[in-house]
Structure formats: C-alpha cells, structure tokens
Amino acid sequence: MGTRGLLGFLINGERYGSYNHWDSYPEGLGAEIVKFILSLDEEQIKTMAERVEALEWVSVKDYGEYNLQMTEPLPLILAGTVTSMPDKSDFIHDWLCCEWAYYIEDFKQRVMEVWSGARQVGEIIRFADMSPGCIAGWVDALNECRSQAAALNRAMPATDSDKETTTDAQSQSTANGTNKHDDSEADTEGDKAPKNTKDAEDPKANEVVIPDQKLSRTEAAHQRDLQAIAAATGGIGISVVGPDAFDRLILAMGNASRAT
C-alpha cells in the first residue's frame, strides 16, 4: 500500500496541493523535494517563483490523481511543460490517509513546511538551511511528539465520561428489571468499595483503544470518531495499538481538544 501525501504550494496565502500516492515519507518524497531545491541556481529559483504563481489549479476529476507523482511536476514546471496541476488540497484534512505533506511557499519566500497527517512537524525550513541531513530532523521531531503523547496517555486518570457511562448503564439495567437485589444492605456495602475492583486497580481499564487499521472513511465518519474520542477522553486518554499508533493519537488529541 502506498504512503500517501501531498506536494503542495503556498501561493499568495492560499494552499494548493497535488496528490502523491507512493513514498510520501521524508526519505522518499521529502528527500526528492530537497534534492530538487538544492539543484536550483538563483535564476532557476526566480523562474520557479513566476511559474508556480501562474499555475492553473484544476479539478482532480478532470485531470486525474496519478498523472503526476513524486517530484515529477517540479522540473516540468521549471521547464514550462506543466502549466496546470490537479488540486487535491482538501486531502490534508484526511488525517487517517494523508500521512505526509510538503508545502513550498511559492519559491518567493524560499521556505517549506513539513506536515505529518493534519499537523505541522517542526519549524518552517528555509531553503538556505536545507541539506540532506534536515530529513532526519523531521523524523526526530515527529518521534518526540509521539513520546510526549504516549506519556500523557499513560498518566491520564479515569474521566468523568467513564463514570457517567457506568451510571447510565446501571440505570438502564434497573429500568429493564435485570438489576435484582436487596437494596437495603447490598447498596450499603457497595458504598464502601468500588463497584468493579478490577477497574479500580487497572488504570488502563477505562482507556479507549483505537485498533491500527487502514480504514477508508468519509469526512463525516472522521467527525464522528473525533466526537466520540472527545466525549470519552477529554481529548487525551487514548490508547492506540500498531505502528502508526501515536500519529493517530497526536491528531486525535489536537482535534478533540479544539472541539472541547
């Protein structure tokens, strides 16, 4: 399965992006972009600035997503061969599928942003500071965010939402006539100890687990996921399994925090 992402531009304050299906990680698409930029002389940078600003951005439906991949568009733009690009800029919001994005600021400001999913990674990078070594820095910045997110997840106590969920379940059980016991003495004993001693001893019992799956979801489904995460965890208490675990944790935390 391809590592999907965007080759993007910031043009007069607006973001545009061309969809990339394969090898969008820093060592792939990221390295190729850096290699192209470092190959340019002063006059070529000025030419790129003029031609990127003049690009016509067309619908993906009319142009197709796979016509231009990796850094193939960049030398073609420089040569004047490509004057229009398929705009897939909304793909950046699909945080489950858009794994990496690179935004070059129209070659005038001579800077680039690196995004992982729906969040920026590290600082804005100036062309003058670019080198093959900067790629490892992007990965290091993302790994640091993952470590911080993991620490937050481990330290989070049970939330009020968990308690409300338990209360609602007990109320429903009573309403259905399934909670049959002697209220007089049993409830008194229940006040002295947790209803579920296993949950009280295990801090992970109340965590929300998001399985590591490659899912194809609509934007509406994404929003439902985020609302459920926010309601259950307050934007922090998410336990995730799988190699892409903390990418999803970071994104979910950010979106859920903004929603609360």
Q: What are the φ/ψ torsions at residue 50 (nearest 5 degrees)?
A: -65, -45
Instruction: Tell me, yes or no, whether 149 lies in a domain.
Output: yes
Q: How many domains, the chain? A: 1
SS3 181: coil
Instruction: Tell me, yes or no, whether 127 lies in a domain.
Output: yes
Predicted pLDDT of residue 136: 78
Q: Which residue range is the domain that position 144 belongs to?
A: 5-154
What share of the chain has pLDDT > 90, as a percent? 17
Instruction: Tell me, yes or no, whether 43 lies in a domain.
Output: yes
DSSP-assigned letter for residue 252: H
CB 252 within 8 A of CB 238: yes
d(CA 26, CA 32): 9
d(CA 34, CA 52): 17
Question: Directed axis angle between helix 219-233 and helix 245-259, to 10°?
Answer: 80
Average pLDDT, the chain: 67
Instruction: Tell me, yes or no, whether 180 lies in a domain.
Output: no
Instruction: Tell me, yes or no, whether 204 lies in a domain.
Output: no
Q: Which helix H or strand E contains 253, and what residues bound it?
A: helix 245-259
Alpha-carbon torsion 66, 67, 72, 73, what sign? negative
Instruction: Tell me, yes or no, whether 83 lies in a domain.
Output: yes
Strands 111-116 and 119-120: antiparallel
Instruction: Tell me, yes or no, whether 68 lies in a domain.
Output: yes
Instruction: Tell me, yes or no, whether 174 lies in a domain.
Output: no
d(CA 75, CA 221): 38
- The residue count for the chain: 260
Predicted pLDDT of residue 246: 42
- pLDDT for 56-95, tens place per residue? 988 766 655 555 555 578 999 999 988 888 888 888 777 6
Predicted pLDDT of residue 109: 92
How confident is the model over 199-203, as a mean pLDDT?
A: 46
